Every structure is written in structure tokens, then in C-alpha cells.
Amino acid sequence: MRKILLIVACVLSYCAVSQAQGGMWVPSLIEERVKDMQSKGLKISAGDIYATDKASYKDAVVLFGGGCTGEMVSSEGLMLTNHHCGFSVLQKHSSVEHDYLKDGFWAMNRDEELPNPGLTVKFLVRMDDVTDKVFAGTEGLSASEAESIKRSNIEKVIQETVGGTHYEADVKTLYYGNQYYIYVYEVFEDVRIVGAPPSSIGKFGGETDNWMWPRHTGDFMYFRVYAGKDNKPAPYSKDNVPYKPKKYFNISTGGIGEGDFTMVYGYPARTQQYLFSSGVDDVLSHSNPAKIKLRTMRLEEIQRARKSDPAIRIAYSYKEASIANAWKKWQGESLGLERLKTIAKKEAYEKSFEEWAYTKPEYKDVVSSLRAQYDSIHDYSLAWDYLREAIFAIELVQVMRIADKWIESPSEAIPQKLSDFYGDYYPEIDKKIAKKLLAEYMGKIPQRFIPDEVAEDIKTANGVDAYVDMLFQSSSFVSADRLASAIAQKQDLTKDPAVVFYFAFANMFNNAVRGKIIKYDANIEALQKTFVRGQKAFDADNKTGRVFFPDANHTLRVSYGSVSGYSPEDAVWYMPISTLEGIIAKDNPQEYEFNIPQKLRDIHASSDYGRWSVNGTVPVCFIANNHTSGGNSGSPVLNGKGELIGINFDRTWTGTMSDIEFDPEICRNISLDIRYVLFVTEKIGGAGYLIDEMNIVHSKAK
């Protein structure tokens, strides 16, 4: 008993520390947190943050392009987000002749703004708890029967909510199926690029500085949202007018300092704060190491190739950034989980939970059952990781996924999506990558996850390298010209060797992996639902004071904290604000990632900072202890008055385990100081007219 009490004491101490900061709070329930927020510096009310009967700050925040966050900053539809969020659409407008990635882009009037077919922004209209409606009629049913009823109920709830309107809706679960919310959105599809700094500012430091502090990246882009003359969503048209938002943010240039209140309002994608210990072990010991190694192989070839040709650099810029972002994040995440001993802490918590649950039938077996399900899914999850990061990461294979059913009955015209793909495709680079990835897959994955026909073909070809050479030499999908020729000759594309290769793995996945993952994931989800509910009861019984918040699921959330330096290692302390002096110190014309525009060098040499000068320099970025995740990129960072002081764009590398365990001592979100945004806009872009659109507030939040 004494040993059990010691474990419980340790666990309770851990819970108390972990709740010192952190949390991603549901906006419609923010009233429950607002007193704590106000004690830390918030000056506005819960109704200012979220309301449905009046304009509130939720109406100034958008889900940008399905992956990032953006914020409205003027009454004329002007919006800010991250440069890396808009990078892919800017790339589509770029060429060697008009290299907007390298040189930047600034529309000097609205006629010059660049439209982007397919790009949308979503405004949240409201969110409502529909748990009772979703669970209606499921009492006493088996899990599979209940799931079918819930799916039907969800469809009914969506139809009742938005049927006959121009709104869209989505129902998502909180707390692993214990709660359901419906989210109603107004979706705008005419979104145009207004301004972007050159990549030497917008991506300054590149992958070298990614996830690191101190940071000096001017990670921002301007867009403008357009609407029909009735201010409602409308397809792109020259007759559309700038959208008049219900709310937009005032811009604070009063400055920030250590300890100042900060609030991040955005769309974090995914956290796993309640992940079972076995799940953490899979991440740390198996999944992350495999994915890191496979992405390293891809990055090495891309980086070698892009140095040889500006056209390759443009074509692979977004691909490289996309591959490298998670690659580096996983490395920091693994180091953080090891440092925090997260697995051991979770195992101790689970053991004490089991002792508590011994006399409670509802929770008695949940820990042992979860452990068994993770043991069962392990091999299939690892195979899926290798399929995604090795086989399906080969671009020639991705062509099959783009072409889809067109392969079976091809028309004379190549689909637009395929044409777009070939515009940025270099088969020689892909072939080198394919050889490495396929060899790694064949050497690390059990035989039952290798299609027999592929294994036989590799054996016949005398090895992976020769087999891949044959694949690229023979396939019509290697180039648009070859594909057009094959279509003209009425070749059966289903027999193309690359198609055969793709479907061999796709069929293997569908027959041997997919069903098992669905089965075990469903079991884990059902058990996790019970476990999370049990944790609430366990912590209440033990009076831990632990405050629960739902894991992020790419819905609108609020996190709050303060500007704060930190110590990532012994004898090291990082200040919370970086400046232009750091950019100049890193500047290196010989290194693409650190070669700043000459204009910025000239401005620094003459100290021509104008109204953006602060103590003889210009502030660039700052860090705070807000709990953020992927999807928070582009989120507005607000002071206590609800004024925009920055744009969130990253986390510190040593704190990327915050998706699984948030450590208030070391987890920091990185934001771009709004004053640097305005400085670059005026001094580098010559687009001061954009600043004139905004409502600038010069006083600092008290």
C-alpha cells in the first residue's frame, strides 16, 4: 500500500505541474477559463472572444486553405497568415521569369492581386454541443450498432442545421467520443494574394533554423478575401468586391516584454495529451525513427539536386519544406519525450489508475485491454508508416493516386491535376529517391507486407536498383509526353509497370493492413473513450486539481500564456525577443537560406528604420508559453486587449513533444512580431498603402 501511495503522490505531483500552463480551450466554453485568463492579464470579456449574438474575435479568425489559420486585419477583407501557409499557391504563380519565391510579390493595386482557384477560407459561424442528438437511440446497443446509429444521427444533425443555407457544417468529437460538437462555417472561395516578402525574408534560415530559437524568419503573407456584392461567398469573378468582415483585429505597435499576456486564437490540428503509454512507446521507439530515416533519404537527394538548377529549386521548394518540416519536428519530439520520461510517467499513472479501478467494473480492465490492443496493432501500424513514407512517397507512385480511375478509361486529354504534377516533376531525382526508399522497405518490413509479384520482379531484375531502373525506363507515367504518346497509341495503362507496382502495394494494404488497422483503431478509440472518462473520475476522487481540455482536432481553440524566455539546457538562457541585429549576424550571401536582400542590408547600414525603430533596431520574433500545434500556423497572437501583436508560426525544437506532453518550463511557441511585418511591408515591399488600411494602436496593453 505504501508503494501505491508513493506512485499516486508522484503522479499527482506530475499532474499539478503539467497543468501549470498549457491547454487548448473550446471558445464557446471560454467563460469557464476567463477568470484565470484575466488574472494573467486579459482585459476583455468572454463575449469579446466568442459570441453568436454579436461580432466577436472568432469572426476575425479563419481556417485558411484547410491546414493553417489566418486573421482579418482590415475592413476591406485584408488577411494575414504565414508565408509557409501560402507558399504552395505563391509557387504556382512563380516561374524562372517571374520568381515570386525568390523576389517576393507586392500588388500595388487590387487589379494586380493574384487569384487562386481552389483556395478557400472558412469563418466559424457557431459551434453547438450536439452530444445528446448524436447518441439518441444508441442506448443498450453494441458498439458497432451504436456507431451506425451515430453516423446516421450526425448526417441528420448536419442537414437540420445547414440544409437550405449556404453554410457548411462538420460534426467532430471531443474527449474521444464522449462529446460531440457541430461547427457551422461560411466558406469563401475567392482569395487573392496581395503581398509576400522574398523567401530570403519569408523563409530566412530555411530548414537550418526551422523549429529553432532564436528565430529571425519573416513568415507572413497578405491575402484578400473577396465576396459577391451582397457580401456573401461567391466563385471568383472580376466583379467581386472585398469582403467586409464582421470583425477584424486592431494592430498594436506598443511593444511587448517578458511576462506580457498572450493569447493564440486558431485551429490546432492534433494533440494526444491522453495517449496511452504503449502509444507513446510506438511513437518514440518505432514510428519516429523509421519516418526520420526515410525522410532523410528523400531530403538528401532533393537538396543535392536543387543546388544545381534554379528551376529545380522552384519546383522542389514546397516539396522540400513539406518533407523537412515534420522530419525535424519528429526529432525534437523524440528528444523531448525521452527527456521528460513521458512513458515512465504514463505507466506510473496507469498503474495507480488500475489500483483505483480494481473495484469499479466500468474501468477495471481498461488499462490491460488498451495494452493488448496496442500489442495487436503494432506491426500493422509500422507497416503503414513504411508504406506512406517509403512506397507512397515515391512521386511516380503518387501519380497513380492523382490519376485514380482515369487510368482505367483514359480520355485523349491528360487531366489537369496530372498536368500540374508534371510541371514540378523531375524523374531522375525521383528515381534516385525510389531506389533508397524501396531498398529500405524491403529490408525492414516483414515478408507478409511485401507483395509477391513485386518481390518476384525484384529478384528477376537482380536487385532493387535494377528493378527501379526498369520501372522508370518502361513506365509511360514518367513524363507528360510519354503519357500522351501512350494514350495516342491506345495502350492499356492498367498494365503499365508503375501502375502494376502501385496496385500491388495498394491491394496488399487493403487486404492485409487496412482492415486490421481499422479494427484495432476502433477498439483503441472505444477503450480510450472509457479511459478518459475514468481519468476524470480518478482525478476527482484524488482531488488532483487537474483541469481537462479536449485534444486538438482542427477546430477553433484558444490558448493563453505569456511572453517568456527559457532555458533548454544547463547554463543556457534564451531571451524572448529577437531583432534585426540577429538577421545581420546570420546574413551570408554564400548560403541560400541566409542570403538576405541587399535592400535590407542597406536599410540596416543606414539605420533607416523609420517609425519601426525600437532601441536602435527592429524587433523580429518573440516566444511565449502558449500551447500550440500544427494548424496554429498563421494564428493571431493577441495581447490582453485583444489587439494583434504577432503571427504564430512555429514551436521551439526542444518543445515539440507538446502534442503529447506539454512542459511549461521548456515548451515555447514562436511568433513573428507584427512590427516586423509592418516594417517589411513598408520598407522592403513599398506597400505602405496596406498599413493605411489597418487600424494601428500605438499604446501597449497594461
CA atoms within 13 A on the CB side of 441: 28
Among 633, 635, 658, 671, the one annotated catalytic: 633
Distance from CA of residue 472 to its chain's centroid? 33
* CB-based burial label for 197 (10 Å; 0-12, 13-18, 19+): buried
DSSP SS3 for 394: coil
CA distance linking residue 83 with residue 589, whole number of Å: 22
Residue type present at position 644: L
DSSP SS3 for 651: strand
Residue (of 370, 363, 176, 174) closest to 281 by Cα position: 370
Residue (of 678, 680, 676, 553) closest to 622 by Cα position: 676
| Phi, psi for 434 (deg, rounded to 5) | -60, -40
User: Distances from the Cα of 443 to the Cαs of 286, 299, 386, 388, 503, in angstroms?
Assistant: 15, 20, 11, 16, 20
Looking at residue 284, the DSSP 8-state letter turns out to be I
Those residues with Cβ within 8 angstroms of residue 266's Cβ, 6 or more apart along the chain or in another chain: 61, 69, 556, 557, 628, 631, 632, 634, 635, 636, 648
Active site annotation includes 633: yes
DSSP SS3 for 157: helix
Those residues with Cβ within 8 angstroms of residue 587's Cβ, 6 or more apart along the chain or in another chain: 594, 595, 596, 601
Active site annotation includes 286: no
Active site annotation includes 98: no
Among 84, 216, 604, 627, the one annotated catalytic: 84
* CB-based burial label for 516 (10 Å; 0-12, 13-18, 19+): middle
CA distance linking residue 669 with residue 637, whole number of Å: 10
| Phi, psi for 243 (deg, rounded to 5) | -70, 140
CA distance linking residue 544 with residue 204, whole number of Å: 45
Residue type present at position 451: P
Cell numbers representing residue 134 in the block = 448524436
Looking at residue 52, the DSSP 8-state letter turns out to be S
* Whether the Cβ atoms of residue 635 and residue 265 lie closer than 8 Å to each other: yes
| Phi, psi for 614 (deg, rounded to 5) | -135, 110
* Whether the Cβ atoms of residue 100 and residue 196 lie closer than 8 Å to each other: yes
Element housing 169 (H / E): strand 168-174
Residue (of 469, 440, 438) closest to 454 by Cα position: 438
* Whether the Cβ atoms of residue 253 and residue 696 lie closer than 8 Å to each other: yes
CA distance linking residue 376 with residue 380, whole number of Å: 8
Among 48, 59, 219, 659, the one annotated catalytic: 219
CA distance linking residue 376 with residue 353, whole number of Å: 22
Task: Give the active site residues.
Answer: 84, 219, 633
